[in-house]
Amino acid sequence: MQFSDLIDTKKQGKALSEAQIHFWIEGYVKGWIPDYQVSALCMAIYFQGMNKQEIAWLCEAMLYSGEVMDLTEIAGKKADKHSTGGVGDKTSLALAPMVAACGGKIAKMSGRGLGHTGGTLDKAEAISGFQVSLGKERFIQQVNAIGLALIGQSKHFVPADQLLYALRDVSGTVDSLPLIATSIMSKKLAAGADTILLDVKYGSGAFMHTPKQAKELAMVMIELGKHFGKDTRAMITDMNQPLGNAIGNALEVKEAIATLQGHGPKDFVELCLCAGSIMLVQSELAKDRTQARAMLQDSITSGKALAKLKALCEWQGGDVKQIADPSLLPQAEYVIPILAKQEGYVSMLHALRLGQLAMRLGAGRNTKEDRIDSAVGIVLHKKAGSQVHIGESLAYVHTNRPLEDAWLHDFYEAYEFRKEKPTISPLIYEIIE
């Protein structure tokens, strides 16, 4: 079998066979097939798509390209959650401790930043000493002991996705529905959880631009989850503006801590409460979402959720002092206020542009070899629907180098204003159970 035949087949819009897909994944993992050929196939898939059977075969091939975690030694239902990515999405850092504080078991495998979106592992590693590589025995021991663990992919788990994930980032094929769905679900399935909650985002800061596209992706992933016997549900959420106020790794850790202390941004808190409610129902720890929501709110007011975050850091080598005192997290050399030049109401705040601006500061990766600067980013003071007067602060920029005029120009371009107060779309568009 010649790999060029696979490229030609998909280029012509034809379906790949099960044998061809397994040849692709096995050959890429073992080094028989080079990056440039796989890039060509990914681009063909980007334009031509894949049918349901191809997607199922690809997910299966990726899933079994490495070990699959057996979590039967952990008592109770094991829950996992995944976001398709967005700007300012630090949800796992607050949500996992909240659910664990309510008795949930969170066995979470997370990824790194992809394109303009931040990765959970990059955020966690902003905490000094935090280790995301855990052996299977330690992973299981930790979840049994404190109810949660946060790990990255080792070379043993879904190695096919590790290779494809990095390649897609630099080959313009990030926002391909089949490649997104199989990437996410192969990791979720390999992590061994019993239940999966998907936060599928749409808008200018997401890979899916419309609610319709997001729902299409969600349904494909739910079908994959159910095919493998997992309770899989989804939320469709708005990412036309950043989630919360902080964009950038250490800054987002600070915001997650603030949320667990009871004073997080309204939109971010609502997302955590909604997602956590579904997860507790999936785990059979609450009879319905109303009861689950009350449990989650109590985990914050009682301090139990924050205690879980501290325990997570302690177990994984992180500096717990930075959780107790977030000012000890990485700090940028410059903190620069950006002042409004016009007044009115913010009618649009372009998440994608802000994510790209944060990346230009060093908060994200342009190539898979780039190193992330944990300290840099943006903290927003005005978001869509906010009233603004000339001279008021739109945001603070945290940077380790002076801001260039071009950067400032692009920042102002991320804001749109109008005289009348706009109607803001709800954060949570739909829940699919």
* Catalytically annotated residues: 82, 161, 168, 183, 187
DSSP-assigned letters across all residues of 179-243: HHHHHHHHHHHHTT-SEEEEEEEESTTSSB-SHHHHHHHHHHHHHHHHHTT-EEEEEEEE-SS-S
Smallest CA-to-CA distance from 276 within 194, 197, 188 is with 197
| 3-class state of residue 401 by DSSP | coil
Cα separation, 232 vs 224, whole angstroms = 9
Distance CA 253, CA 23 (A): 41
Residue closest to 144 by CA, chosen among 105, 175, 182, 115 = 105
Max Cα–Cα distance, the chain, nearest Å? 65
Q: What are phi and psi of 201, to 5 degrees?
A: -100, 150
CA distance 55 to 51: 6
Q: Which residues contact 389 (CB under 8 A, 6 or more apart)?
A: 340, 343
Got the DSSP string for 59-110?
HHHHHTTS-----TTS-S-EEEEEE---TT--HHHHHHHHHHHTT-EEEEE-
The separation between CA 99 and the C-alpha centre of its own chain, rounded to angstroms, equals 17
Contact 179, 10 (CB under 8 A): no
